[in-house]
Amino acid sequence: MCETHTAIVFFAGDRAYKVKKPVDLGFLDYTTRAARRTACEREVALNRRFAPDVYLGVGEFRSPEAEEPEPLVVMRRMPANRRLSRLVREGVALDDVLRVVARHLAAWHADAPRDPVADEQGTRDALSSRWEASFAEIHALADDGSVPDGVTETEQLVRRYLAGRERLFASRIEQGRVVDGHGDLLAEDIFCLDDGPRVLDCLEFDDQLRYVDGLDDAAFLAMDLEHLGAQEAAAYFLAQYGEYSGDPAPASLWHHYVAYRAFVRAKVSLIQARQGAPSAPAAARLLVSTTLRHLRTAAVGLTLVGGLPGSGKSTLSGALADRLGVTLLSSDRVRKELAGIPAEQSAAAGYGEGLYTPEWTARTYATLLDRAAALLSAGESVVLDATWSDAGQRKAARSVAERTSADLVALHCHVPDDVTTARLRARASGPSDADLGIATAMAARELAWPEAVPVDTTGPLESVVAQALAAVQPWGTRQAPVFRRPYMEPD
């Protein structure tokens, strides 16, 4: 026998029998026999989509004390030694198994039903409502009024992410990413058989909770693998799913969905704690911690890296963008793109002349910020490499960050004058046309940038990047798994 917060499963011979508990948990009500029978029938119908040879039908059992028979789901019993959760705990090599499961899930999502009703559940506002419902339930479960540590920060991070991401979720619907999925993808319910995986126990009590973004569906299993201690396996599975589904989602959305699934699981653990499960309180704390790690990693950021020519800002910008896995936009490249010339072609001119007049500079920064705003709204963090010497341009950047609910960090690169001189004299031709004379003229007009974090770029690049990361990610190095976007052929 095994027990969940909504059901009890009995194993006998080659069969498994699942009985619904007569409980009312708010989000489901099984207190009547008719409701339990409907739930059993629904469970069989929905799960036959994933494992038709496992779900045999709805049966019943009778007892002398009961006036009516009790409905139950009858299943073919799966071999316990082939449970994915068991394979994880036993340290079995999982790459082949997870690749097959990812392919199986992506294939199901490709052909899964899609309709406007399901699309409604893929909107930003629908996801926000689900988060808010979970927050309310967590608060209701706290008898003494105190919620678990981390819940308050979770609420803040979730609301901030969703506030600026309406465009992202609208694009997911346009791409047909919202499907009638599984909704409850746990490693405990996946059996890795020689002839392919059997995925059991989809969510049946609320269709709207099963209408999900396919990435959200996959994130449930990634969360569960991580909860089992297999962080690398979780990241590998999502990467494989992304490859088989051809999903171009930004990493921030991957992390947000894993966080969502971890928080829902934390809520379930708190329910189980109230039902007397001894390990549930610790599990809830761990899951809230997992939620926070992913939400922090998912936070969308706009990082301004500025400084005079020769200050090392472009080198730091590139290294920082690579380290964070985010998009880099450079004013030098945008300026020449707008002029219709290759980035490496020289456009050298005197200070404030040619492509460097105030009008050209204003156009360059406006384009830079427009592109950044589009990326931020789509869930992509951005590093902007520019001088940022003008207070009006910095104000415009703050406005973009506020409008897209992005975390703004400004880094001001500086080095001693002799280092600047040496760097500019040794600089090869490239996107920047600034020479020592222009750098000197700019330095004479440079205004204070008090809100920026000063970064001395004199030392080794790795040390400089570490300084920058401490400002961009004040909670420390990312601990959540790194989800790699699949390679996509250019249009």
Domain assignment present for residue 320? The answer is yes
Domain assignment present for residue 204? The answer is yes
Find the mean pLDDT for residues 19-39.
92
- The reported pLDDT for the residue numbered 488 is 38
Domain assignment present for residue 338? The answer is yes
- Answer whether 0.85 is exceeded by the pTM: yes
Tell me the CATH number at 200. Answer: 3.90.1200.10
Find the mean pLDDT for residues 120-138.
94
| Residue 474 scores a pLDDT above 90 | no
Which of 40, 75, 110 finishes a domain?
75
- The reported pLDDT for the residue numbered 487 is 38
| Residue 256 scores a pLDDT above 80 | yes
| Residue 154 scores a pLDDT above 80 | yes
pLDDT band at 145 (very low <50, low <70, confident <90, very high): low
Q: Are 96 and 231 in contact (CB under 8 A)?
A: no
| Residue 143 scores a pLDDT above 60 | yes
**399-408 residue pLDDT tens:** 999 999 999 9
**55-81 residue pLDDT tens:** 999 999 988 887 889 999 999 999 999
Q: Per DSSP, what are the bridge partners of residue 2?
A: 9
* CA distance from start to end of the chain: 53
Domain assignment present for residue 478? The answer is no
- The reported pLDDT for the residue numbered 438 is 78
| Residue 480 scores a pLDDT above 60 | no
**400-449 residue pLDDT tens:** 999 999 999 999 999 998 888 888 888 777 788 777 777 788 887 888 89
CB burial class (10 A; 0-12, 13-18, 19+) of residue 38? middle
**Radius of gyration in angstroms for the set of CA atoms belonging to the chain, rounded to a whole number:** 27
Other Cβ atoms within 10 Å of 37 Cβ, number: 19
Q: Are residues 358 and 335 in the same domain?
A: yes
| Residue 216 scores a pLDDT above 70 | yes
pLDDT band at 475 (very low <50, low <70, confident <90, very high): low
- The reported pLDDT for the residue numbered 477 is 45
Q: Are residues 85 and 22 in the same domain?
A: no
Q: Are residues 189 and 336 in the same domain?
A: no
**32-50 residue pLDDT tens:** 999 999 999 999 999 999 9
Q: Are residues 69 and 117 in the same domain?
A: no
Q: Are residues 383 and 444 in the same domain?
A: yes
What the block records as the tokens of 51 is 């494992």
Q: Are 113 and 180 in contact (CB under 8 A)?
A: yes
In this predicted structure, which of 113-117, 374-378, 486-490 has the lowest mean pLDDT?
Answer: 486-490
Which of 266, 298, 330 finishes a domain?
298
Q: Are residues 334 and 416 in the same domain?
A: yes
Q: Are residues 208 and 314 in the same domain?
A: no
Find the mean pLDDT for residues 443-458.
89
**342-360 residue pLDDT tens:** 888 877 777 777 778 899 9
Q: Are residues 282 and 326 in the same domain?
A: no
Q: Are residues 62 and 115 in the same domain?
A: no
| Residue 160 scores a pLDDT above 70 | yes
pLDDT band at 237 (very low <50, low <70, confident <90, very high): very high
| Residue 490 scores a pLDDT above 70 | no
Q: Are residues 209 and 280 in the same domain?
A: yes
What the block records as the tokens of 410 is 């400004």
Q: What percent of the chain has pLDDT over 70?
A: 96
Per-residue burial over 146-157, b = 16 or more CB atoms within 10 Å of its CB, e = otherwise: ebbebbeebbeb
Domain assignment present for residue 485? The answer is no
- The reported pLDDT for the residue numbered 31 is 94
- The reported pLDDT for the residue numbered 26 is 83
Directed axis angle between helix 251-274 and helix 214-227, to 10°?
A: 60
Domain range for residue 432? 301-472
Domain assignment present for residue 483? The answer is no
What the block records as the tokens of 293 is 């790690």
What mean pLDDT value characterizes the chain? 90
Residues 6+ apart with CB under 8 A from 278: none
Question: Rounded to whole angstroms, how far apart are CA atoms 214 and 96?
Answer: 21
What the block records as the tokens of 205 is 């009590």
Question: Rounded to whole angstroms, how far apart are CA atoms 87 and 112?
Answer: 28
Q: Are residues 157 and 238 in the same domain?
A: yes
Domain assignment present for residue 47? The answer is yes
**375-403 residue pLDDT tens:** 999 999 999 999 999 999 999 999 999 99
Domain assignment present for residue 375? The answer is yes
pLDDT band at 482 (very low <50, low <70, confident <90, very high): low
| Residue 478 scores a pLDDT above 60 | no
**SS in 3 state form for the chain?**
CEECCCEEEEEECCEEEEEECCCECCCCECCCHHHHHHHHHHHHHHHCCCCCCCEEEEEEECCCCCCCCEEEEEEECCCHHHEHHHHHHCCCCCHHHHHHHHHHHHHHHHHCCCCHHHHHCCCHHHHHHHHHHHHHHHHHHCCCCCCCCCHHHHHHHHHHHHHCCHHHHHHHHHCCCEEECCCCCCHHHEEEECCEEEECCCCCCCHHHHEEEHHHHHHHHHHHHHHCCCHHHHHHHHHHHHHHHCCCCCHHHHHHHHHHHHHHHHHHHHHHHHCCCCCHHHHHHHHHHHHHHHHHHHCCEEEEEECCCCCCHHHHHHHHHHHHCCEEEEHHHHHHHHHCCCCCCCCCCCCCCHHHCHHHHHHHHHHHHHHHHHHHHCCCCEEEECCCCCHHHHHHHHHHHHHCCCEEEEEEEECCHHHHHHHHHHCCCCCCCCCHHHHHHHHHHCCCCCCCEEEECCCCHHHHHHHHHHHHCCCCCCCCCCCCCCCCCCC
| Residue 303 scores a pLDDT above 60 | yes
In this predicted structure, which of 75-79, 156-160, 485-489 has the lowest mean pLDDT?
Answer: 485-489
Which of 263, 283, 298 finishes a domain?
298
**What's the number of domains the chain is made of?**
3
- The reported pLDDT for the residue numbered 63 is 85
Tell me the CATH number at 358. Answer: 3.40.50.300
Q: Are residues 180 and 263 in the same domain?
A: yes
